[in-house]
Amino acid sequence: MNVAPKKSLGQHFLVDENILGVIGRLAHLHADDVVLEVGPGLGVLTRYLAERVRLVHAIELDRSLEEPLAEALAGRENVSLAFGDALELDLAALEPAPEKLVANLPYSIATPLVVETLERAPCLQRWCVMVQREVADRFFASPGTKAYGAVSVLVRLQASKVGFHPVSPNVFRPRPRVESALVAFVRTGSVPVAEVRPVVEAAFAHRRKTLANSVALAGLVSRAEAEAALAAIGRPPGVRAEELAPEEFVELARALA
């Protein structure tokens, strides 16, 4: 069945099965795994996963893919297919609970989905996701670099990168104009991100301004309060958000509290 990808949903269907072996290796698939896949598209990756793991929870937003997915997954009794917005579903309530997220993520939701699953799906312990190359670079960017931002802080506070593989545009239909990459990471800690996230997002809301000015403009606290908190963690009042390491944002959040 010929299905046209929707630009509005950031769809780029995976069509080249040669990349599947790389995904399997970076995801460390085992026969007893329960895997979450978001955006199964035409089911190419879903079939591969179903042949290697105990159960696949596949969540698709696009209802027009219901028929082609049903055809692609016919006879796969270990695939639980649901239609809905993964950003709105209670992923922590899935039964049995998935330990891994393995997916070719739609471009439009890649960043928020990774952040939300780290925060709201404690059952997940390993991620292997296909995303735009620049998004993959942001996830684990270092302080002081152009790519370093709020998502870098939130991801690095909770996870450690264990694999990376550049991906050619030729493995997708339609062929995207940007480079992609597979990035694999594992959960490493239990930082109370819900407490840190407002401070991180406010700090990077106005990148050209100092951190104190940025959080004040975001309405989180006054500039004076922000500068006092920075002083408490040994940072000068004129420091910018990109200069702080992820762990310093935890200290800053506590100082502001």
Residues 80 and 107 in one domain: yes
pLDDT in tens, 38-48: 999 889 999 99
CATH of the domain at 154: 3.40.50.150
Q: How confident is the model at residue 83 (pLDDT cuts 50, 70, 90)?
A: very high
Q: How confident is the model at residue 3 (pLDDT cuts 50, 70, 90)?
A: low
pLDDT in tens, 148-195: 999 999 999 999 999 999 998 888 776 677 889 999 999 998 788 888
Residues 30 and 81 in one domain: yes
Q: What is the pLDDT of residue 1?
A: 45
The pTM for the full model equals 0.91
Residues 98 and 69 in one domain: yes
Instruction: Assess if residue 229 is contained within a domain.
Output: yes
Distances (CA, A) of 133 to 4, 50, 87, 88, 210: 24, 27, 22, 25, 28
CATH of the domain at 240: 1.10.8.100
Q: What is the pLDDT of residue 229?
A: 98
pLDDT in tens, 25-71: 999 999 999 999 999 988 999 999 999 999 999 999 989 889 999 99
Please report the DSSP string for 81-106 in residue order.
EEES-TTTS-GGG-SSPPSEEEEE--
Residues 208 and 108 in one domain: no
Q: Which of these three, 132, 152, 187, is where a domain ends?
A: 187
Residues 22 and 120 in one domain: yes
Task: Indicate the number of domains in the chain.
Answer: 2
